[in-house]
């Protein structure tokens, strides 16, 4: 029962954040951050995907 309540709370929080935040902007920020992090780690994965 406790897991169910936590699931409902987390689901509502995620839904609220999804409604308030622009998802494309978040994904663009995350991909940009991972790109810069990959460049910072001295040729991570050979510097190519």
- Domain boundaries of the chain, sorted by first residue: 2-40
Least confident of 5-9, 26-30, 37-41, 45-49: 45-49
Q: How far is CA 46 from CA 1, 30, 33, 34, 38, in A?
A: 48, 20, 18, 15, 10
pLDDT band at 44 (very low <50, low <70, confident <90, very high): low
**For the chain, what is the mean pLDDT?**
79
Tokens matching residue 31: 């991909």
* More confident position, 25 or 11: 11
Residue % of the chain over a pLDDT of 70: 82
């Amino acid at each position: 029962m406790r897991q169910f309540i936590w699931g409902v709370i987390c689901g509502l929080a995620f839904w609220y954040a999804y409604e308030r935040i622009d998802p494309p902007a978040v994904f663009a920020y995350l991909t940009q951050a991972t790109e810069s992090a990959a460049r910072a780690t001295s040729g991570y994965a050979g510097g190519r995907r």
